[in-house]
Amino acid sequence: MRRILLFVTVAGILPSCTEVLDLDPRAQRVVVYGILENTMKQVVELRYTSYLSEDYMPPVENARVWVEEENRNDPVAIKYNFKELGNGYYESNFTPKFGSRYHLEIELQDGRRLSGTTLFPAQENLLNLRPEGYAYSFRTAYIPLYLWIYGMDYSDKLGKEQVANYIYGSRRYLSSEEILDPFNYSDLFVKDVPEYKNRFVCEYHGDELLSQGYLRYEIGVKKIPQLYESSDFWITAVPIFTITETGLPHSKSYVVFDSVSEEYDAYLKSVILLQKSEKQDLTNLYDLENAFSNIEGGIGIFGAVYRSKLSLLWNNYQEIGYENQ
């Protein structure tokens, strides 16, 4: 189930949290995973939940899948039909529009209908996003913003990138307002990472906790919806990447900024919390209330993400005094 990932490119732990086992073998539910992205291809994955004696989630075949885009200037919605690719995957070619609302509709062979709704993030959420010295800077003029940041650590041995296990992120906006959600804190401090003891990030942030894999920021979520206000932000985000023979992270490693819809944000946080809890009691697997779902007639997620891939804040990885040598 490679498609059911935290941020599509993130190979990780979250898919298992949607693999809910059915106690009643006559009533397999349908699990939906559909995340609209700022690309030309959109994919929806459909699977049936497993029976109690199975660990395999069968693909949903021969379903009708389409997405309707609300048109503010026309009461008739724009419709995008999805083509079945096989093995539970359905694909359509279109690029979501900033700030537009989308409705997912699914019709199964047995007549059941499923649906979900999401809002694609606004372009104004991350204006002029760029690395700048020791922090990433951007301007946001649209509230609210649900922001997830993580690092993709490239491995020559594996020939691919994977999510860095830990990441440091600045907590505050200016001097007082807390914007980093501490839900994902680990029990490690920056200074606990041996490879970083002589680095700038450890010199200035050594006594601060690392987060496990992902940083989650809420900016303006408690304010009046649709409220426009312009603010500048600087966020230091330093994934704990593998140090190569050059003394620095791999040149192919990078940092990802995901501006996500409210629905996808709730799903991501709930699934990570489930994984962190490490509950082994079988009754918890059947409790669908533990994981967020916005699918009517089924379980799962229909959400949206605007993704930006950025270069590292290289200054934070330099050895102390390196620039003066």
In single-letter form, the type of residue at position 325 comes to Q
Q: How far apart are CA 47 and CA 61, in angstroms?
A: 9
d(CA 135, CA 276): 28
Q: In this predicted structure, what is the pLDDT of residue 221?
A: 67
Mean pLDDT, rounded, for 160-169 = 96
Average pLDDT for 236-258: 95
Closest-CA residue to 317 (of 163, 130, 129, 134): 134
**pLDDT, tens digit (0-9, with 9 covering 90-100), for 42-93:** 999 999 987 655 567 899 999 999 999 998 777 778 999 999 999 999 999 9
Q: Show the CA angle centred on residue 70, arms to residues 66 and 75, nearest 5°.
A: 115
pLDDT tens profile 133-149:
999 999 988 668 999 99
Q: What confidence score (pLDDT) does residue 183 get?
A: 94
Q: Rounded to the nearest 5 degrees, what angle is found at the Cα of 37, between the Cα atoms of 225 and 56?
A: 115
Does the CA dihedral 34-63-101-18 come out positive or negative? negative
Those residues with Cβ within 8 angstroms of residue 31's Cβ, 6 or more apart along the chain or in another chain: 18, 19, 20, 46, 47, 48, 49, 57, 298, 299, 300
Structure tokens at 184: 């994902």
Q: List all residues 6 or more positions away from 128 whose beta carbon is below 8 Å from its beta carbon.
A: 137, 138, 139
Q: 158 phi and psi, to 5 degrees?
A: -85, -20
Distance CA(217)–CA(178), nearest Å, equals: 9
11 has pLDDT over 50: no
**pLDDT greater at residue 273 or residue 27:** 273
Mean pLDDT, the chain, whole residue set: 84
Interval 84-129: pLDDT, tens? 999 999 999 999 999 999 999 999 999 999 999 999 998 888 999 9
Alpha-carbon distance 313 to 300, whole Å? 35
Give dist(CA 89, CA 83) in Å, integer. 9
Q: Please state, in angstroms and rounded to a whole number, the distance separating the CA atoms of residues 263 and 125.
A: 16
CA distance readout (Å), 85 to 168, 188, 237, 298: 39, 44, 38, 21
Q: How far apart are the first and last CA of the chain?
A: 49
Q: Of 37-51, 55-69, 151-165, 274-288, where does mean pLDDT reach its minimum?
A: 274-288
